[in-house]
Amino acid sequence: MRATILAALALAGAAMPASAPAAETGRVLFLMRADPPGGSADPQVKARLEQLGYGVTVSDGLTALPDPCGFDLVVMSSTVRSNQFTAERTSIARLRDMGVPLVTWENDLLDDLWMTGLRRDSDFGELETGHYIWLVRAPHPMAAGVPAGLGTWTEARTPAGWGKPGLGADIIMTWPGEPDKATLFGYEAGATMDHDHLAPARRVFIGMENNSFTRMTDTGRKLFDAAIAWARAGHKSCRAKK
C-alpha cells in the first residue's frame, strides 16, 4: 500500500507544471564606461540590479546608445565621462528630456541634466569623504525606512557627490551641517527642476563615486535599492520633447 501511495504522489508531482519564472521587475538600461582608470563597482551594481529582478542592458557610455524608450529605467554611472556627454548634444537632450525615469551618481552631469545649477562647487561637487549622512525625509520611500538624523552609509574615506537641487526636489539626505549639499534627492514627474525645466519623469541623484557601491554599509545598500525602486515605479510611458 505504501509503495502504491508513493507512486501515485510521484505521478501527480510529475504531472504538475513547473513553476513559471518570476517576471522581471523592469528593464534597465545601464550606462557605464568599460575599464575606467582606477576601476569601478559597476559590475557589482549590475549584479545587484539583476539580483533585485531587473533585466539589465549595458551600454558603454553614450556609444551606440539604445533607444531609452525601450526601457523602464535608465541608470547612469559616474564612470560615464562628463566631457563625452557634453560633446554629444543630441544625447544630452535625449536623456534630459526623455519620459523614462533616470538615476545617476555622476555629480558632474547634474548641471547638464538640469537637476542643479551650472556652477561647480556651488551648485554641485564632491566631498573628499562622504561617510556620514543627515537623513531629512524619513517618510519618503527613498529613505528606505532609515530613521531621520545622523548616520553612515559608506565606509570611512569614501568620496561622495552632492548637488543643490531646484525647489521641486525631494531631498532625502544631506551632508551633516551643510543642508545645501544634498547627497540623495529626486524629482517627481512634473516637478520643477533647475532652469524652470519640468521633469519629464522621475529623476534621482545618489551621491556615490566610481567605487562607492562596494564600500556601502547596510544603510547605504538599503538607500540605493530604494532609490532604484522609487525611480522605476514612476515609469508610465516614454515621452520626449521634440
How would residue 242 be classed by pLDDT, with cut points 50, 70 and 90?
A: very low
Cell numbers linked to 156? 570611512
- CA 197/CA 96 separation, integer angstroms: 10
Topology of domain 24-233 in CATH is Rossmann fold (3.40.50)
Instruction: Output phi, psi for 221, to 5 deg.
Output: -65, -40
- CA 232/CA 73 separation, integer angstroms: 6
Q: What is the pLDDT of residues 159-182, one digit of tens each?
A: 999 999 999 999 999 999 999 999
* Contact status, residue 85 vs residue 112, Cβ threshold 8 Å: yes
Distance from the Cα of residue 87 to its chain's centroid: 23
Share of the chain above pLDDT 70, in %: 83
**Where along the chain do its domains lie?**
24-233
Cell numbers linked to 63? 556609444
Q: What is the pLDDT of residues 205-233, one digit of tens each?
A: 999 999 999 999 999 999 999 999 999 99
Does pTM surpass 0.85?
yes
How would residue 142 be classed by pLDDT, with cut points 50, 70 and 90?
A: very high
* Contact status, residue 93 vs residue 67, Cβ threshold 8 Å: no
